[in-house]
Amino acid sequence: MKVLQIIDSLEAGGAERMAVNIANVLAKEGHDSHLCVTRKEGLLQQAIAPEVAYLFLNKKGKIGWRAIFKLRSYIQQHQIEVLHAHSTSAYIAVLALVVLKNPPKLIWHDHYGKADQLDQRPHNIWKLISVFFDQIISVNKRLKTWAEQELNCKKVRYLENFAVKVSTVPLLSPLAGTVGKRIVCLANLREQKDQLRLLQAFEKLAPEYHEWTLHLCGQDFQDAYSKELRRHIQNPVLVSRVFLLGSRPDVTAVLNACDIGVLSSKSEGLPVALLEYGLCELPVVVTDVGACKEVVADCGLVVPPENPELLAAALEELISNRKLRDLHAVQFREQVQQHYSSELYVKQLLEVYHS
């Protein structure tokens, strides 16, 4: 099957990781797999398998007619059968298909990260363009329900994300802190990810855990939220114990060098970072947003969002109990391998394509 994944950027976000992972796995399974990036290349370009055909549109402006016609020509030239558009790349996908005589099937993959705030999501534009979708893939059940109620596409399927453990790149630089006493949060620095309350929770840890360090690994957009985080980190309790790692190509090595994984988000879809924690055998503390509780099941600690006190208590429970950490680490790895494997995902995805 000839399939083209399309995504707006290759920055290290969840939707971007999924687009690359799907393209790679389809190529591995023997399909004619393509990946198109519309606006911005980035760190994840290094993760694209050599067997995946790559197209960069370098789209400029809101519409980007040159990019639209470049995409149209590529689809025609390579006889693409399925166009799999992730998140907002659906806009250019629709515009490219309406000028084609025999367009491929169009799948829209909804990774919307604010699934717990859908009342704030502008739906008019999605309702309009959804008439062009042959099928919608939603990464959690709330997004599936939203699509069924709000959009003009009859076929909607809930399909959980998956993660792959990439071959470990050695640590580019050593991590600060004490071996065996590191907490990691793999998330870009966005207000939705709520690292601010994670810092507040970390402050509340009992004094006897002062050797534990917190490592925030994700893209820094140098915006107001980032500045607020940096100001908070200057607190004397945190300044020598919290480290901003930025967006890194050695993520697996970073996770392997840490001992607890945490996600403190206000809202989520189904975070790929959480699955990566599992593959790297990290015990986890997560907030009950999106599909996080469903993913973790009984293999980790789940707390309400926007509650630093309960987040701190959960972190202390893992920090103070090595046996519990080890038990949850093994259980969560098995949970991810059993329910969120690439093999299971591809089987279900091909059912979507063929349907």
pLDDT tens column, 183-195: 999 999 999 999 9
Residue 190 lies in a domain: yes
- State yes or no: pLDDT of 294 exceeds 90: yes
pTM of the predicted model as reported, rounded to 2 decimal places: 0.91
Predicted pLDDT at 99: 82
Percentage of residues in the chain having pLDDT higher than 70 = 99
CA distances for 165 relative to 17, 23, 131, 297, 333, angstroms: 12, 15, 36, 21, 11
**In the structure encoding, which two tokens stand for residue 28, read together?**
């591995």
Predicted pLDDT at 168: 66
Predicted pLDDT at 15: 96
User: 121, 95, 113, 89: which is closest to 8 by C-alpha?
Assistant: 89
- State yes or no: pLDDT of 113 exceeds 70: yes
Predicted pLDDT at 256: 96
pLDDT band of residue 209 (cuts 50, 70, 90) is very high
What is the residue range of 308's domain?
A: 182-339
Same domain, 149 and 125: yes
Tens of pLDDT, residues 333-355: 999 999 999 999 999 999 999 98
Predicted pLDDT at 215: 98
Note whether 83 and 75 are within 8 A (CB).
yes
- State yes or no: pLDDT of 105 exceeds 70: yes
Residue 173 lies in a domain: no
Note whether 110 and 139 are within 8 A (CB).
yes
Same domain, 307 and 187: yes
Note whether 4 and 80 are within 8 A (CB).
yes
- State yes or no: pLDDT of 166 exceeds 90: no
Same domain, 316 and 290: yes
Same domain, 261 and 323: yes
- State yes or no: pLDDT of 167 exceeds 70: no
Same domain, 333 and 190: yes
Predicted pLDDT at 122: 83
- The per-residue DSSP string of 230-251 comes to HHHHTSTTTTTTEEEEES-S-H
Residue 84 or 119, more confident: 84
Same domain, 31 and 64: yes
CA dihedral for 172, 178, 181, 182, sign (positive or negative)? negative
Percentage of residues in the chain having pLDDT higher than 90 = 92
- Between CA 100 and CA 263 the distance in angstroms is 43
Predicted pLDDT at 75: 97
Same domain, 148 and 213: no
- Between CA 344 and CA 336 the distance in angstroms is 11
- Lowest mean pLDDT across 49-58, 116-125, 206-215: 116-125
> Whole-number mean pLDDT of the chain?
95
Q: Give the bridge partners for 128, in sequence order.
A: none
Mean predicted confidence (pLDDT) in 90-111: 94
Note whether 91 and 126 are within 8 A (CB).
no
- State yes or no: pLDDT of 169 exceeds 90: no
pLDDT band of residue 136 (cuts 50, 70, 90) is very high
Residues near 107 by Cβ (< 8 Å), separated by ≥ 6?
A: 82, 83, 84, 85, 133, 134, 135, 136, 137, 352, 353
| CATH code at position 19 | 3.40.50.2000
Note whether 75 and 55 are within 8 A (CB).
no
Tens of pLDDT, residues 219-237: 999 999 999 999 999 999 9
Tens of pLDDT, residues 254-266: 999 999 999 999 9
Same domain, 143 and 187: no
Residue 175 lies in a domain: no
Predicted pLDDT at 116: 79
- Lowest mean pLDDT across 58-67, 85-94, 164-173, 238-247: 164-173
Same domain, 98 and 69: yes
- Between CA 283 and CA 296 the distance in angstroms is 10
User: 325, 245, 317: which is closest to 281 by C-alpha?
Assistant: 325
Predicted pLDDT at 179: 97
Same domain, 204 and 137: no
Residue 22 lies in a domain: yes
Mean predicted confidence (pLDDT) in 135-150: 96
Residue 283 lies in a domain: yes
